[in-house]
Amino acid sequence: MNNRGELEIKIEILRKQLYEAYVDNAEYDDLLKIS
């Protein structure tokens, strides 16, 4: 897979992690670590 495809996959994974943390009312510091 090319670099762009790998980067898009990593971004999507992190986006999902951030959203799940937000929905679970994570602390600001936890959200900041993910981002």
Predicted confidence (pLDDT) at residue 2 exceeds the cutoff of 90: no
Q: What size, in residues, is the chain?
A: 35
Residues of the chain with pLDDT > 90, as a percent, come to 60
Q: Tell whether 10 is covered by a domain.
A: yes
Average pLDDT over residues 1-8: 89
pTM of the model: 0.72
Look at the chain and report how many structural domains it folds into.
1
Question: In terms of residue numbers, what domain contains 22?
Answer: 1-30
**Rg of the Cα atoms in the chain:** 12
- 35 assigned to some structural domain: no
Residue 18, classified by CB atoms within 10 Å of its CB into exposed (0-12), middle (13-18) or buried (19+), is: middle
